[in-house]
Amino acid sequence: MNSTKNNNARDLAGIAVGALFLTCFTFASSTFAQSATTEWGVPDLQGNWKNATVMPFERPSELGTKQAYSEAEAVELERQAQQAVEEDNLPLDPNRPAPAAEALPPVGNYDLFWTDRGMFLPTIDGEFRTSAITSPANGRIPERVAGFDDSMRELRANRRDRNDGPEGRSLGERCLVAFGYSSGPVMSPVMYNSHLQIVQSPGYVTLIVEMVHDARIIKIVDERSPASEAHQKWMGDSIGRWEGDTLIVETKNYNPWHEYRGAPTANLTVIETFRRDGNNKLIYGFTVDDPSVYTAQWSGEYPLSRFEEPIYEYACHEGNYGIIGILAGARRLESMAESGVELKVEQE
């Protein structure tokens, strides 16, 4: 899935737009960052934010209940991330043999030009966290309830082949929601475009995620609309409330096509929190509650860092021609099989 946006493209676009726009935009962002509250008296969370980080979602098992790195350990982790990127960016031998098909990554045509990995470890409440998940204490997603995995295997075994029609392809591939879990909830970074914009108006907060152009409108209200259960929005129905300086968002009633981490969302409730940590950082918290999937609730936090570049339109090419090629290829293979052609892949 290609996007016309990446770090290099951002730089070129910024130059092309011109110094006047950049001057005005920088001035507006700097002025805006100084505001702690909106005109209507609630905490001001607005701006463009990124959540790319070297911090993993789940804690490495060997770290056990260790919630935070020392500063020296954090610096070493960042050094390793930088080194990995530099090694990936080394020139390739043009005479090298083709790699084995099974050795290729799921998407084999993404070089560093298209990626924007998390390279740093911002602090949360002064800690260099070892994982986004903080509860349970081991920083890992709890086990699933007894029988859940068996029921999911049975469900998938009875589904039609994923190449039978567009419905078999992923929602991200069909450009309906973000790839990975960018748009959430829970919102978490992916290999590029881990950016979002927060816009507020009286009674509303809108989260605009750059990856696949998702926008989630959060209504600040005490009671959820009875119609939300029937509407079943892609990213669920989100309502919010303010508790002091923290925005608390509760989301449920997802579209049944939308899964979260391989599990149905029919009984999923996600609680998110947004709180300022100075002018240039937000702390984004989340709690996942689904007793039909997990043996316990689980929670965590991500640091969101302010950046002064604009959010770009996402060009989701796969929805234009990728799926057409995939499905056409599947029909061709079916036709060849019906004609008695032996289908196999030969590789030296």
Structural contact between residues 274 and 45, judged by C-beta atoms closer than 8 angstroms: yes
What kind of architecture, by CATH, is found in domain 7-54+139-337? Beta Barrel (2.40)
Q: What are the sequence ranges of the domains in the chain? A: 7-54+139-337
Phi, psi of 299 (to 5 degrees): -140, 165
Return the pLDDT at 25: 34
Which regions of the chain are under pLDDT 70? 1-35, 101, 103-111, 317-320, 345-348
- Amino acid of residue 41: G
- Amino acid of residue 280: N
Q: How far is CA 205 from CA 47, 76, 210, 328, in A?
A: 12, 38, 16, 42
The DSSP element (H or E) to which 205 belongs, if any, is strand 204-209
C-alpha 267/C-alpha 205 separation (Å) is: 24
C-alpha 272/C-alpha 187 separation (Å) is: 9
Kindly report, residue by residue over 216-258, the tens digit of the pLDDT.
999 999 999 999 999 999 999 999 999 999 999 999 999 999 9
Return the pLDDT at 97: 85
Contacts of 304 (CB under 8 A, 6+ apart): 49, 50, 51, 196, 281, 282, 283, 284
The DSSP element (H or E) to which 337 belongs, if any, is helix 322-338
Give which of 187, 160, 179, 224 is closest to 51, Cα–Cα: 187
pTM score of the predicted model = 0.83
Return the pLDDT at 218: 97
Q: Which bin fits 18, alpha (ψ -120 to 50), beta or left (φ > 0)?
A: left
Kindly report, residue by residue over 66-101, the tens digit of the pLDDT.
999 999 999 999 999 989 888 878 887 889 887 776
Return the pLDDT at 132: 97
The DSSP element (H or E) to which 85 belongs, if any, is helix 71-88
Return the pLDDT at 104: 63
